[in-house]
């Protein structure tokens, strides 16, 4: 009978031995002869089985040596692995542990045998540890947890446990196979990242800034909560192009194409977008971003959104203040010029002209005596010409006729003095222009005077047209000629010509608008709104 632990070969050998013993015990001679033959056969078979057993023994020794070699290899890998490995019995006692695991537990592997793993875990993590052990006993897929180990100093050591339960096929006992990894550095990096992220969030909130990212595949824009608040998009889903476009003023919607353009290295985004008004307020946001490269080599845009409504408002106020300061500066300059003109005009009229009148009176008195009459006539003609030019210059410098007889009369008088045989001016002046403020009248007078002088001196024109129209206290002015026009173009002429710059300054002082048409001569269209005529 086959006994417990016998191999198949041993069972066969035992059967043959029993059979031989039975044959030898037979009392029949015939049976003994027949048994002798069978014994020889059995002996032969026994020899064969003996050889087979020797060969199997050699194979077992070779297999044992191979297993020892492989065991040594795996034992070396087990102890030199960068991850800690240990085996716990169901009671939580350490049965096996590698060198890395022992280092993490701050002990020698021989000192850890049959030690309870729970004794190496800080009290704050004990509850989590026992819950972890209980979970791996009932979970077929194993479990994972993060715990803190006891250390000699006060520094924390964070360990990640990954475990599964294995049943021994021979003893049918359970064992917990556990890997332990030191994640202290990763925890510190995570902590720094959390702190940095929190500081960044605080900074973004304080600066009224949110973040965004474009998904180039699905044409979606991912916004953080603050960005959604800035854009007044209260939705939990990803923001599509159409949804974002619906919040932006129509004139700025074309700018969104840049967000989904081909991402090229070095490409950056810097856009100002105006949002449709909510509660009658137009909000302006600044969208800035740059290229971010993914791990797979693809690119996408990411950046920040800032509410610059207040900044724009303050900037507009600053620009308006600057323009006001410039207008005041221009006004002071022009007023100073007018005062100097008035002084020079008064000096010419009251001093030089009076002297010339006296000279002419004396020359006339001498000429009545009859001597050198022809020569005195020539001198009188020259004096009359000088007096006329001085009077004209005095009037141009100080148009007192504006104060004495009104704007319309003064303007017509100035135009009449500028007209010559080869240059005629057609005028259409609304009489209501006399009701304009005196300062406005003077500015318009100087503008038209400068434009007509330019036509006479530079354009070679033979005719000009002046038209002034007032309606609801607003003023429309048109001055044109039939000359050569501006040879250098409008932009260049405005930069080079001091006369045109002076005209632009006067128009700006009254917050007016000027349009120059450089075709078939040159035409100036100037408009002063009603509310801006008080300089």
More confident residue, 71 or 433: 433
> Is 114 part of any domain?
yes
Query: Using 50, 70 and 90 to split pLDDT, how confident is the model at 465?
Result: very high
Looking at the structure, tell me whether residues 421 and 447 fall in a common domain.
yes
CA atoms within 13 A on the CB side of 491: 0
Q: Alpha carbon of 45 to those of 16, 34, 39, 233, 292: distances in Å?
A: 9, 17, 10, 94, 82
265, 291 in Cβ contact below 8 A?
yes
How high is the pLDDT of residue 466? 92
Kindly state whether residue 201 falls inside one of the protein's structural domains: no
pLDDT, mean of residues 149-159: 79
Nearest to 136 by CA among 177, 77, 170, 102: 177
pLDDT of residue 32: 56
Same domain? 377 vs 409: no
- Asked if 213 and 89 sit in the same domain, the reply is no
Residue 92 zone, left/alpha/beta (φ > 0; ψ -120 to 50; rest):
left
- pLDDT band at 3; cut points 50, 70, 90: very low
Least Cα distance to 470 among 427, 396, 388, 528 occurs for: 528
What token pair was written down for 83?
């991850």
Residue 1 located in a structural domain: no
Q: Which of 42, 77, 112 is the last residue of a domain?
A: 77
Do 449 and 520 share a domain, yes or no?
yes
Q: How far apart are CA 517 and CA 77, in angstroms?
A: 91
Average pLDDT rounded to a whole number, residues 28-50: 68
Percent of the chain with pLDDT over 90: 3
Q: Are 252 and 273 in contact (CB under 8 A)?
A: yes
- DSSP labels, 485-498: --TT-HHHHHHH-H
pLDDT mean over 182-189 = 89
Structural domain contains residue 497: yes
Range with lowest mean pLDDT among 3-17, 114-128, 165-179, 433-447: 3-17
Which residue among 307, 331, 350 closes a domain?
307
Summarize pLDDT for 278-313 with one digit per residue, the tens: 777 788 888 888 877 777 777 778 888 888 888 888
- Give the rounded distance of the alpha carbon of 140 from its chain centre: 49
Q: What is the pLDDT, as a whole number, of residue 167? A: 84
Q: Are 481 and 459 in contact (CB under 8 A)?
A: yes
Average pLDDT over residues 211-225: 76
> Does the pTM exceed 0.75?
no
Give dist(CA 503, CA 518) in Å, integer. 16
Q: What confidence score (pLDDT) does residue 380 get?
A: 67
Residue whose token pair is 């194979």: 59
Residues 259 and 277: their CA atoms lie apart, in Å, by 23
Arithmetic mean of pLDDT, 157-161: 90
Residues 366 and 417 in one domain: no
One domain for residues 60 and 177: no
Query: What CATH number is given to the structural domain containing 228?
Result: 3.30.450.20
Q: How many domains does the chain have?
A: 5
User: Which of 4-8, 21-25, 363-367, 474-478 shows the lowest per-residue confidence on average (mean pLDDT)?
Assistant: 4-8
Of 159-173, 238-252, 286-300, 328-342, where does mean pLDDT reach its minimum? 328-342
Enumerate the H helices of 348-483 as residue ranges: 353-367, 373-397, 400-405, 407-418, 438-454
The answer to whether position 277 is within a domain reads yes
> Phi then psi for 295, rounded to 5 degrees?
-65, -25
Tell me the range of 364-368, 388-392, 423-427 where mean pLDDT is highest. Answer: 423-427
| 57 and 88 both lie in a single domain | no
Model confidence at 322, in pLDDT bands (50, 70, 90)? confident
Question: Same domain for 242 and 274?
Answer: yes
Q: Tell me the C-alpha distance between 47 and 3, whole Å.
A: 22
- 60/65 Cα distance (integer angstroms): 9
pLDDT, tens digit, 9 for 90 and up, residues 96-106:
888 888 888 88
Does pLDDT of 22 surpass 70?
no
Q: Give the residue-averaged pLDDT of 41-49.
A: 77
Of the three residues 188, 216, 244, the one that is the final residue of a domain is 188
Residue 441 in domain = yes
Mean pLDDT, the chain, rounded, equals 77
Distance of CA 527 to the CA centre of its chain: 41
As a whole number of Å, the end-to-end CA separation of the chain is 131
Name the least confident of 143-152, 277-286, 346-355, 455-464: 346-355
What is the per-residue pLDDT for 478? Answer: 92
Judge if 459 and 519 occupy the same domain: yes
pLDDT per residue as tens digits for the range 332-342: 766 666 666 66
- Compute the distance between CA of residue 27 and CA of residue 229 in angstroms, rounded to an integer: 113
pLDDT > 70: percent of the chain: 70
Please say if the pLDDT value at position 241 is more than 80: no
Q: Give the model's pLDDT for residue 255.
A: 81
pLDDT-based confidence at residue 4 (cuts at 50, 70, 90): very low
* pLDDT value at 257 more than 70: yes
Whether the per-residue pLDDT at 351 is higher than 50: the answer is yes
> Is residue 406 domain-shared with residue 533, that is, in the same domain?
yes
| pLDDT of 365 over the 60 cut | yes
Residues 17 and 58 in one domain: yes
The answer to whether residue 3 is domain-embedded is: no
Residue 362: the pLDDT is 65
For residue 170, pLDDT over 80 is answered with: no
Would you tell me how many other CB atoms lie within 10 Å of the CB of residue 182?
Answer: 18
Q: What residues make up the domain containing 242?
A: 207-307
382 found inside a domain: yes
Side-chain half-sphere exposure of 455, counting CA atoms within 13 A? 30
The predicted pLDDT at position 5 comes to: 42
* Segment 399-428, tens digit of pLDDT: 666 666 778 888 888 888 888 878 899 999
Which comes out higher in pLDDT, residue 343 or 426?
A: 426
- Per the structure block, which two tokens stand in for 494? 């405005």
Residue 290 near residue 267 (C-beta atoms within 8 A): yes
Whether residues 366 and 387 fall in one domain: yes
């Amino acid at each position: 009978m086959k006994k417990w632990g016998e191999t198949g070969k041993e069972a066969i050998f035992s059967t043959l031995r029993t059979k031989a013993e039975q044959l030898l015990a037979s009392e029949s001679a015939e049976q003994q002869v027949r048994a002798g033959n069978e014994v020889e056969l059995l002996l032969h078979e026994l020899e064969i089985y003996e050889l087979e057993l020797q060969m199997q023994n050699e194979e077992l020794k070779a297999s044992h040596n191979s297993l020892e070699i492989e065991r040594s290899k795996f034992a070396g890998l087990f102890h030199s692995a960068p991850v800690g490995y240990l085996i716990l019995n169901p009671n939580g006692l350490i049965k096996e542990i590698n060198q890395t695991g022992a280092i993490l537990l701050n002990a020698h592997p021989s000192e850890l045998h049959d030690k309870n793993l729970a004794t190496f875990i800080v009290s704050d993590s004990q509850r989590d540890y026992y819950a972890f052990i209980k979970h791996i006993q009932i979970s077929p897929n194993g479990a994972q947890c993060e715990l803190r180990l006891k250390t000699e100093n006060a520094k924390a050591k964070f360990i990640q446990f990954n475990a599964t339960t294995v049943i021994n096929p021979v003893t049918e006992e359970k064992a917990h196979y556990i890997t332990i990894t030191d994640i202290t550095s990763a925890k510190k990096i995570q902590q720094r990242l959390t702190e940095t992220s929190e500081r960044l969030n605080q900074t973004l909130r304080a600066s009224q800034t949110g973040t965004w990212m474009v998904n180039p595949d699905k044409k979606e824009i991912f916004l953080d909560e603050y960005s959604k608040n800035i854009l007044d998009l209260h939705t939990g889903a990803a923001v599509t192009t159409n949804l974002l476009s619906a919040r932006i003023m129509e004139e700025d919607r074309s700018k969104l194409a840049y967000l989904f353009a081909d991402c090229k290295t070095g490409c950056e985004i810097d856009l100002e977008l105006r949002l449709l008004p909510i509660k009658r307020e137009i909000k302006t946001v600044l969208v800035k971003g740059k290229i971010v490269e993914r791990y797979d080599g693809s690119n996408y845009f990411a950046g920040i959104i800032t509410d610059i409504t207040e900044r724009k408002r303050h900037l507009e106020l600053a620009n308006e203040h600057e323009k006001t300061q410039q207008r005041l500066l221009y006004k002071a300059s022009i007023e100073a010029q007018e005062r100097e003109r008035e002084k020079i005009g008064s000096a010419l009229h009251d001093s030089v002209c009076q002297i010339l009148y006296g000279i002419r009176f004396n020359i006339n008195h001498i000429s009545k005596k009859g001597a050198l009459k022809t020569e005195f006539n020539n001198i009188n003609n020259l004096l009359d010409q000088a007096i006329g030019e001085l009077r004209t210059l005095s009037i141009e410098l100080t148009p007192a006729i504006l104060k004495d007889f009104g704007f319309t009369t003064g303007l017509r008088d100035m135009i009449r003095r500028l007209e010559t045989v080869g240059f005629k001016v057609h005028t259409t002046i609304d009489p209501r222009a006399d009701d304009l403020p005196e300062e406005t009248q003077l500015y318009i007078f100087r503008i038209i005077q400068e434009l007509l002088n330019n036509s006479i001196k530079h354009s070679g024109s033979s005719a000009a047209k002046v038209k002034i129209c007032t309606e609801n206290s607003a003023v429309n002015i048109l001055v044109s000629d039939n000359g050569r026009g501006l040879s250098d173009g409008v932009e260049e002429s405005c930069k080079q010509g001091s006369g045109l710059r002076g005209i632009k300054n006067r128009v700006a002082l009254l917050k007016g608008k000027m349009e120059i048409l450089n075709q078939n001569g040159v035409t100036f269209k100037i408009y002063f709104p009603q509310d801006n005529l008080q300089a």
